[in-house]
Chains A and B, each alone.
Chain A
């Protein structure tokens, strides 16, 4: 654990923060880096708040910044028709996205849109690439983060084809809460409907059913999850397949613990209680 995180990653994969009552105040990938690797990135890291709907980059464009979400979520979307786009993956505090694939790699087809407002740590992609040339740990971080996106796209393709609308909504909602580290998901039904390729009425009816069952509460643009276990029961099985065992933050942390032979002790000088 380096000084970038305030505490250990708990069994639910979330960072515990005394000041925010359980919400993460850091990105899980950054918190799992060794002090040496983090030190290479620190001079370039900045934090910024983005509103819901902010477009980070469009499909076909090369992203120029790597984003490490802290309290918001980035949705990867592909346009289906003018003004509408389907979500093909998402990144929250468990991952990172925006790595520079190099000038000769074709840019990814998906756009990146913020779909839960929040803060994001970021740095120039070019600087990350330069740092990772010197660090095997950072190269592995990028690989693990990319594989997370790929796993989501693979499972998502099947999910969208064979699972029912209510199960897909349940999964999307549970995933959004996990990505932002909070049970209070500030996303409208319109946005959820667009991400899932459904009519808003369909999502409204599904959400009303969940509310009647006491699983969620919906008020003007904010969905609060009241019963996680029941929500997972209503969601499709993809939730389980894309669980913490695939999170980049977990994979980076476990590698750091396992490969500590030639690394100096990871006890930070200013560890908080």
Chain B
């Protein structure tokens, strides 16, 4: 049976699932993810509105995401167009967040390159990604 990893994207960053869970298949993993999301959001739905679970396989490849806003039971009473608007805001915020993260990352890469050129200390990795290209020494 395959192992799935359920990582949490939240306001403070990413929380990784270190051990994963063995489940029969991807549909079972989706049900599990929805269950975990419901448990995490229960009684604090507004505070977790922008959270999402990112489900990966055992080679850490992204399989699918479960945005909390999509399965929040306390939103079900809203008309469909309002729910869709909320979903769009969350998805948009996530894209914006990713874009900002990428820009910051690029800036750090630039700074690293400049520091290396000046013979100063530089950051080599951030959040699991290496920054400047390794010098050929």
Contacts and interface: CB of A to CB of B under 8 A. Distances in A.
A198 B43 contact: no
B18 A162 contact: no
Nearest to A200: B21
Contacts of B12: 209
A201 interface: yes
Contacts of B21: 200-201
Interface string B100-130: 0000000000000000000000000000000
B43 A164 contact: yes
B15 A212 contact: yes
B18 A204 contact: yes
A205 interface: yes
Given A162-B43, A163-B43, A164-B44, A201 B6 contact: yes
A268 to B, nearest CB: 49
A165 B15 contact: no
Interface residues of A, number: 16
Interface residues on B, range: 10 to 19
A134 interface: no
Interface in B1-44: 6, 8, 12, 15-19, 21, 32, 35-36, 39-40, 42-44
23 contacts: A162-B43, A163-B43, A165-B40, A165-B42, A166-B40, A199-B32, A199-B35, A201-B6, A201-B21, A201-B32, A202-B36, A202-B39, A202-B40, A205-B6, A205-B8, A205-B15, A205-B17, A205-B36, A205-B40, A208-B17, A208-B18, A209-B12, A212-B15
Interface of A: 162-166, 198-202, 204-206, 208-209, 212
Interface of B: 6, 8, 12, 15-19, 21, 32, 35-36, 39-40, 42-44
